[in-house]
Amino acid sequence: MKILGNHLVVELTGCNNDILNDCNRLQDCFDEAVRKSVATKVKSVFHRYNPHGVSGVVVIAESHMSIHTWPEYGYAAVDFFTCGDTVDPYKAFQWVKTILGASSAQISEIKRGMPSSKDEVIDHKPFNQTILATTPTN
């Protein structure tokens, strides 16, 4: 595989139900996770469902971090997908696990990239955010 990125798929259980249902606290948690992992935040969206649960995603220059919560079960499904070698998704994971008060975590690590006859890490160049800041014309 020509490896472009690393994807951590995380199952967190035994989490604090109140935090799992609080959009603002989760967004703050993920903003800090981005900072701790040395990623570059582009934009985030968090949404609280009725009667409970939150979904949120933080788009980072190096890919994304996301969460989907089930407070009624104390469960959160979390993804940390990072490209390049400057971001440490494990630092983001440790922060989120601590803040959510998870009693257990299961991590699946997946290398992401293009099929190839041999494994090699290929260069990833973060995009220039100023290019994306322009408004498309209609």
Calculate Rg over the CA atoms of the chain: 16
Neighbours of 120 (CB within 10 A): 10
Which entry of 37, 44, 63, 66 is annotated as an active-site residue? 63
Residue 17 domain flag: yes
Query: Active-site residue 83, yes or no?
Result: yes
Residue 47 domain flag: yes
Residue 93 domain flag: yes
Which entry of 64, 83, 103, 116 is annotated as an active-site residue? 83
Q: Which domain holds residue 43?
A: 2-132
Instruction: Give pLDDT, residue 70.
Output: 98
Residue 138 domain flag: no
Residue 137 domain flag: no
Model confidence at 8: pLDDT above 90: yes
The CATH number of the domain holding residue 33 is 3.60.90.10
Query: Active-site residue 68, yes or no?
Result: yes
Which entry of 68, 103, 104, 117 is annotated as an active-site residue? 68
User: What is the spatial distance between Cα 126 and Cα 99, in angstroms, rounded to a whole number?
Assistant: 28
Both tokens of residue 73? 């079960």
Structural domain count, the chain: 1
Helix (H) or strand (E) segment spanning residue 79: strand 75-83
Query: What confidence category does residue 126 fall into, taking pLDDT thresholds of 50, 70 and 90?
Result: low
Residue 81 domain flag: yes
Instruction: Give pLDDT, residue 1.
Output: 84
Residue 127 domain flag: yes
Burial class (CB in 10 A: 0-12, 13-18, 19+), 32: middle
Residue 9 domain flag: yes
Instruction: Give pLDDT, residue 99.
Output: 98
Pick the more confident residue, 49 or 113.
49
